Amino acid sequence: MLGGPPGLRRQVRRSHLGAVFQDPMTSLNPVLTIGTQLIETLQEHLELDDATATRRSIELLAAVGIPAPEQRLAQYPHQLSGGMRQRVAIAIALSCEPKLLIADEPTTALDVTIQAQILDLLRRLQAERGMAVLLITHDLGVVAELCHRVAIIYAGRIVEMAPVAKIFEEPLHPYTRGLLRCLPHPSRFGQPLSSIEGAPPDLRQAGAGCRFAPRCPLALESCRRDEPALDERRPGHFVACPVVSV
């Protein structure tokens, strides 16, 4: 689809995809009112008239939990709190009824209480609308709470993919195991936090082989030479590592 005609790509993005980004203060236009940004989106993609687009905008703001939605249409992003701005961004992303919502670090710029509210909102909207949600995050706590399946990515490549419970209970890839060891745990109270030795690679100079090999305590010479395939080692559990034994 990425190689298709521009008009076809635009149609797919318009009717099938929605995106929510991590900082609503930069993803929203600061010099346009909330109403202008919502109404413009609806008119551009769904060709609605002014009255219908305005009514639909109010409905969308109400659906994402914004009080007094009619009044919010005349306000600018800086007049809303961070959580309210993110709700507006979600309303815009949902305006064309996408089948897939891509949420890229949607709670990073928010405090913990607001984070929980936004995650609950995404969970409710996913269930009500029957859409898929692709969540991009570095927060494994969010993954455990919200997701059904998870793909662990290192230096741009998927190294492990499985149901969430399997990732936390039986991680296979050395990178996944290292990530989980870095998490605070009551059983390690008072002990120094673990870390993964080394540093991520410079992708401009990434060579052949497994990109985690320079930091991997289990790496073989073949790991540095050949890129490992993502193989299914258990039902529904994929890992890209020749060293892992199941």
CATH code for the domain in which residue 98 is found: 3.40.50.300
Higher pLDDT, 128 or 246: 128
Residue 1 within a domain: no
Q: Look up the domain containing 79 and give its range.
A: 6-146
Q: In the prediction, which pLDDT does 185 show?
A: 79
| Residue-level pLDDT at 244 | 84
In a domain, 93, yes or no: yes
- Characterize 159-195 residue by residue with b for buried, 16 or more Cβ atoms within 10 angstroms of its Cβ, and e for exposed: bbbbebebbbeebbbbbbbbbeeeeeeeeeeeeeeee
- Domain assignment present for residue 136? The answer is yes
Tell me the pLDDT band of 208, cut-offs 50, 70 and 90: confident
Q: Is residue 25 part of a domain?
A: yes
Residue 35 lies in a domain: yes
Lowest mean pLDDT among 74-83, 173-182, 197-206: 197-206
Q: pLDDT at position 125, please?
A: 92
Question: Does a structural domain hold residue 187?
Answer: no
The pLDDT assigned to 174 comes to 96
Q: Which of 173, 151, 155, 152 is nearest to 243 (CA)?
A: 173
Q: What is the pLDDT of residue 3?
A: 59
Does the residue 178 lie in any domain?
Answer: no
Within a domain: 55: yes
β-partners of residue 234 are 237
Question: How many domains does the chain fold into?
Answer: 1
Predicted TM-score (pTM) of the model is: 0.84
Mean pLDDT of 52-64: 96
Residue 6 has pLDDT above 90, yes or no: no
